[in-house]
Amino acid sequence: MQSASQFLIALGGILLLGLLTDVLGRRTHLPRVTLLLVFGVIIGKDLLDIIPSVFSDRFEIIADMALLMVGFLLGGRLTAGTLKNSAGQILWISISAAIVTTVIVSLGLVWIGVSEEIAILLGCIASATAPAAVLDVVTESGYKGRFSDLLLSIVSLDDVWALLLFGIGIAVVRSISGLDGDMLPILIIAREIGGAILLGLLIGLPAAYLTGRIKPGQPILIEALGIVFICGGLAIMLDVSFLIASIVMGAVIANFAKHHEYPFHAIEGVEWPFMVIFFVLAGASLELSAVSEIGFIGIVYILCRATGKYLGVMLGSHCGKAGKETKRWMGIALLPQAGVAIGMALVASEHFPGYRQTLLSVIISTTIFFEIIGPVFTRMALQRARNDE
């Protein structure tokens, strides 16, 4: 009985906090994502430690549910109309930003004396972006224009390129370390991405036809949540990327459900409460002690990652013939980095136990910076891009 009361009180308090942060976000220059993360840090285990374990222990499932809805909504942005007008820009910028960031971070770390193996792994991890934070900042801003549409489309592809680079990086490091010369890590990543794409197609195609029939024009909330959670559960069970699977499913439904007026209205109505809980618990789970371990390597990682994103976007924008606002501001809009990076660091540490301490200390500490400060830059980029358009 006590655990139930603690859970409900914590849930109610965090949801009411969402209302407060929304008000503060409108009155300050801080996005509500950053405010939620900071509040989470304050009430988390390293400071006040007032979140009951019965609630925080369920962070993983809450995070998965929130990210599934984020992926579904991002996939909905990849429509034929959007791709027809800016497919070249989306591909050029997303690929260039990922590759250039990986190269600059790797070279920068090698330059200061970090071993090639660790530098390559950290460089690959640096290519990932936090889709949840970017989506929420765009939603909160209320800005609907060419720049925000392009940003969300780029972010929806970001994790695909990051996972591919990560698989290649693991294979290269295994070869350098003399552990083995095979391509097994790449095959594992290819299976994770390919399986996710196939799953998204298998669920998305029938859902595109079947949903939106009970209430003509758009799926009701139960339909939308049902297909999202089934997709996520199957992805986790099959050990493929649930984020990529939900993105593919969303894109398929958005493009093939011709009878839908707007297929994701129901999800947008319920997404924010999950996001509030997700960001507060994410902040509470951050280990502030890791900041003291950041050292010179972490500082170089932060500077090189920011430089890589900016220069990568500049190169991709030039090749894709993007507008001036995209060249100037898209790079800093892609700075948020969170759970995907930590997940990659954990996987890399399992492959290379000897690098575990360095990988985790650098990624966890820099994630605190990028997760809290990154959304501020994303919001600034949206404001400046709106003025330039």
Q: Select from 103, 33, 80 the least CA-distant residue to 309.
A: 103
Q: Where are the alpha helices (DSSP H) in 257-294?
A: 265-285
Q: What is the mean pLDDT of residues 352-363?
A: 78
Q: Which residue has the higher pLDDT, 330 or 85?
A: 330
Q: Phi, psi at residue 259, to the nearest 5°? A: -85, -5
Mean pLDDT of the chain: 79
Q: Which amino acid is at 90?
A: I
Residue type, 193: I
* Dihedrals phi, psi of 257, to nearest 5 degrees: -85, 80
Q: What is the structure's pLDDT at 288?
A: 65
Q: What is the pLDDT of residues 10-53, one digit of tens each?
A: 778 777 877 777 677 666 667 777 777 778 778 777 777 777 77
Place of tokens 């250039």: 100
Contact residues for 192 (Cβ-Cβ < 8 A; gap 6+): 163, 239, 240, 241
The three-point CA angle 23-77-223 to 5° equals 85
Give the residue with greater pLDDT, 121 vs 264: 121
Phi and psi at 245, nearest 5°, equal -60, -45
When pLDDT is cut at 50, 70 and 90, the band that residue 303 belongs to is very high
> What is the arithmetic mean of pLDDT over 74-86?
72
Other Cβ atoms less than 10 A from the Cβ of 98: the count is 29
Which comes out higher in pLDDT, residue 122 or 358?
122
Q: How far apart are CA 113 and CA 339, in angstroms?
A: 27
Burial of residue 201, with CB atoms counted within 10 A of its CB: 0-12 exposed, 13-18 middle, 19 or more buried: middle
Lowest-pLDDT range of 76-80, 131-135, 240-244: 76-80
What integer pLDDT is reported at residue 147 of this predicted model?
A: 85
Encoded tokens for 371: 């997760």
Closest CA to 33 of 305, 386, 278: 278
* pLDDT above 90 (res 89): no
Cβ neighbours for 83, distance < 8 A, ≥ 6 positions apart = 90, 153
Question: What is the set of domains in the chain, with CATH numbers?
Answer: 61-388 (1.20.1530.20)
Q: Residue 336: pLDDT band by 50, 70, 90 thresholds?
A: confident
Whole-angstrom distance between the N-terminal and C-terminal Cα of the chain? 56
Mean of pLDDT values over 92-117: 91
Cα–chain center distance at 239: 18
The tokens of 32 are what? 């509500």
**pLDDT band per the 50, 70, 90 thresholds, residue 269:** low
Average pLDDT over residues 299-313: 92
pLDDT for res 305: 94
pLDDT digits 0-9 by tens, 153-188 = 888 888 778 877 887 787 778 777 765 555 455 666
Contacts of 341 (CB under 8 A, 6+ apart): 125, 126, 128, 363, 367
Give the span between the Cα atoms of 334 and 349, in whole angstroms.
Answer: 25
Tokens at residue 381, please? 């980029």
Would you state the pLDDT for residue 342? Answer: 74
3-state helix, strand, coil in the chain (%, to 5): 80, 0, 20
- Rounded distance between C-alpha atoms, residue 248 and residue 205, angstroms: 10
The answer to whether residues 66 and 237 touch, using CB atoms and an 8 Å cutoff, is: no
Rounded Cα distance between 40 and 17, Å, is 10
Burial of 27 (0-12, 13-18, 19+ CB in 10 A): exposed
